[in-house]
Amino acid sequence: MKLRGFLIVLLPLLLFSSVNPDPYPDTYFNSPLKIPLLLAGSFAEMRANHFHAGLDIKTQGRAGYRVYAAADGWVSRIVVSPSGYGNALYISHPNGYMTVYAHLDRFNNTLSEYIKTLQYSQESFAVQSFPDRGQFPVLQGEVIAMSGNSGSSAGPHLHFEIRDERTGWPVNPILWGLNIKDTIPPRIYRFKVYPIGDGSLVRLRDSRTGGWRVVSAGESAFIDLTRKDGRIVMSRVNRIEASGKIGFGIQTHDYHNGSNSRLGIYRINLKNGPYTLFQSVMDRFSFDQTRYINAHIDYNEHRTSGRWVQLSHLLPGNQLPLYETNGNGLLDLEIDKVYDLTYRVEDAARNLSQFDFSVYGVESGIVETPRTVPADLAFGPDRAFTFGREDVFLTAPTGAFYSAAEFSYMRLMNRPIGVYSDVHQLHETSVPVHKWMTLTLNASELPIELRSKALIVGVNSDGKLSSAGGEFKDGAVTTRIREFGNYAVAVDNEPPSIRGLNISQGKNMSASGEIRVRIRDDLSGIQSYRGLIDGKWVLFQYDAKYSLLRHKFDGRVSRGSHSLDIYVTDNKNNESHLSLSFRR
């Protein structure tokens, strides 16, 4: 009877474990490098306009470390690009996940020969291939590539991802038990308070002077934190009073043993007493949704100060599936009630930091006069928006914005040199934009011969121009933009520059292993390039971040005299040509 009772208890546990296995088993994926894993970047770390999709593993400041397949599988995608992930390998695995290895210096010999053959057949440095499942099988621990600094990498490292192939979503690799020593809890630097809506306010009492700072709706205020007697406490504020609805945000970063790089946070939990007011968990996300980071953070704070403040309340247009909230994370205060709140911040190794604070509900004493926003200037996340005035027309689709606001516009009469229209100030750069907007500017001042070279430019506070692209049609230039700011019509009729770095007319290149050439364009950007030796296409690798072309001599160029021709075209079809002879 005892054995029968034991089986009755054990059977449901066995059934549960078989139906609900560990989704991230520690033993499935091995490290892709055979050196200690020190991170320069973590999963879901804050980046400009996106969350970081994997781990940036340090390679001791140099390229050339062997990169190993993290598990058995097959090469399902190979990408070579002058920007982005640069040289990247994608390996599919039988468990339904894919590992990604990016910014590589080169692939192993088998894959390198395959890609070079593809590049010569397509006469293009940038290529991508989707091999059949049986074409390039790999075993766990097999060398697949060498680490590097290709693409948009800011320094030598390995970018490593684990993706769910069913959805394409990246998953936090730390959850799979990679051997990264981490006993350091996250650091919490400060938090922010945000009065939300008419009539809301926050009052902060200075712990040194006893004076009060009043923060009204539409404003925000930092509260710095410090450690005292082993606890995290407010350093210059000893009382928070508020009325109406308020939200919070927090500046916090993670670190791990052996690295001083600032990393992302796995979980942020804000409790109001025993109840969760807000929680975010960074275990997976969709690439299609990654730009919603601009609703996840205090966008204007980062734009002006560089600080990453993660909001602990939801903006109306935030569609990220990362949250658990009560009332969208807003605290709706009652007069004379005390709210005891706790922030708990965890990293993926479950190291924890927390601090407690209280908010006292008070009467605001503010009498708000509601203001009606003109219908043609009102925009928000739940509707399309159209703005039209003389010489300017802007349209935005539904979902382009995260919050409702009143659109502002101003025509700036001071024109930088090279501009063929007034400068149009479109709303405020402090407001993020999620989806592409279509902008049309009148270009009636353009001479006929320059119309094909016309484009729209952004104009910064110093009068510097940056290309926003666009084409001339029916007396106007139209393009797509994804940021508010100052825009005008300009032209690009200057061809790109081409400069030999280690080669010149008639030079003997027999002691050189490669040809190096720098190509640049000062406005519209490089559209294409083509390198020929003796009239035949040859492979020039392009590193966009360094504006560098490199041809490595590989036996295709024999000893003797040769001709080199390089053609470079920018995005307004201005072309440059470098022609010279050399010996080898």
Summarize pLDDT for 464-513 with one digit per residue, the tens: 999 999 999 999 999 999 999 999 999 999 999 999 999 999 999 999 99
* Percentage with pLDDT > 70 across the chain: 96
Sequential DSSP letters for 33-64: SSS---EEE-TT-EETTEE--SEEEE-TT-S-
119 φ, ψ (degrees, to nearest 5) = -65, -45
Tokens (6 digits) for 173: 């690799």
Fold observed for domain 39-176: Glucose Permease (Domain IIA) (2.70.70)
Q: What is the pLDDT of residues 218-263, one digit of tens each?
A: 899 999 999 999 899 999 999 999 999 999 999 999 999 998 999 9
Distance CA 289, CA 293 (A): 8
- Provide the pLDDT confidence category of residue 2 given band limits of 50, 70 and 90: very low
Buried b / exposed e over 459-496, threshold 16 CB at 10 Å, is beeeeebebbbbebeeebbbbebeebbbbbbbbbeebb
Torsion angles phi and psi, residue 287, rounded to 5: -60, -30
Q: Which fold has domain 497-583?
A: Immunoglobulin-like (2.60.40)
Where residue 252 falls (left for φ over 0; alpha for ψ -120 to 50; beta otherwise) is: beta
Is pLDDT above 90 for 369? no
176, pLDDT greater than 70: yes
pLDDT for residue 20 is more than 70: no
| Two tokens, residue 343 | 């922030």
Look at residue 495 in the predicted model and tell me its pLDDT.
97
pLDDT of residue 367: 64
Distance CA 450, CA 226 (A): 60
Q: For 520-564, what is each residue's pLDDT tens digit?
A: 999 999 999 999 999 999 999 999 999 999 999 998 999 999 999
Nearest Cα to Cα of residue 220 among 300, 338, 131: 300
Q: Distance between CA atoms of 234 and 189, rounded to whole angstroms?
A: 10
What proportion of the chain, given as a percentage, has pLDDT over 90?
A: 89
HSE-CB for 389 with a 13 A CA cutoff:
11
Average pLDDT over residues 22-45: 92
What residues form DSSP beta bridges with 399? none
Cα–Cα distance for residue pair 415/428, rounded to 1 Å: 19
Please enumerate in sequence order all residues whose Cβ is within 8 A of that of 1, keeping only pairs 6 or more positions apart, or say none. Answer: none
Cα separation of 584 and 503, whole Å? 11
Q: Compute the distance between CA of residue 377 and CA of residue 386 in angstroms, rounded to an integer.
A: 8
Task: State how far the Cα of 274 lies from the Cα of 537, in Å rounded to an integer.
Answer: 69
Amino acid 7: pLDDT: 41
Q: Are 498 and 578 in contact (CB under 8 A)?
A: yes
Assign 368 a pLDDT band (cuts: 50, 70, 90).
low
Q: pLDDT averaged over the chain?
A: 93
Give the pLDDT score at 3: 40
* Terminal C-alpha separation, the chain: 90
What SS3 class is residue 307?
Answer: coil
* Most distant pair of Cα atoms in the chain: their distance: 98
Please determine, for residue 336, whether its predicted confidence score (pLDDT) is greater than 90. Answer: yes
pLDDT at 538 (0 to 100): 97
pLDDT tens-place string over residues 402-454: 999 999 999 998 899 989 999 999 999 999 999 999 999 999 999 999 999 99
> What single letter denotes the amino acid at residue 163?
R
DSSP conformational letter for 405: E
Residue 340: which of 269, 274, 243 has the closest Cα?
274
DSSP run (H or E) holding 477: strand 476-483
CA gap 488, 464 in Å, rounded: 12
The answer to whether residues 170 and 43 touch, using CB atoms and an 8 Å cutoff, is: yes
502 DSSP assignment = S
Q: How far is CA 34 from CA 31, 49, 62, 65, 470, in A?
A: 7, 32, 15, 8, 48
Distance CA 207, CA 270 (A): 24
CA-to-CA distance for 150 and 548, rounded, in angstroms?
A: 12
pLDDT band at 375 (very low <50, low <70, confident <90, very high): confident
Given a contact cutoff of 8 angstroms between Cβ atoms, the answer to whether 38 and 258 are in contact is: yes
pTM score, whole prediction: 0.92
Cβ contact 493:574 at 8 Å: yes
Average pLDDT over residues 323-328: 93
CATH number of 375-491, picked from 2.60.220.30, 3.20.20.150, 3.90.1150.10, 2.70.50.60: 2.60.220.30
pLDDT grade, residue 11 (50/70/90)? Answer: very low
* Domain map (residue ranges) of the chain: 39-176, 187-361, 375-491, 497-583
Determine contact, residues 394/417, Cβ cutoff 8 Å. Answer: no
Report pLDDT for 9: 41
Q: Is the pLDDT of residue 12 over 80?
A: no
pLDDT at 207 over 90: yes
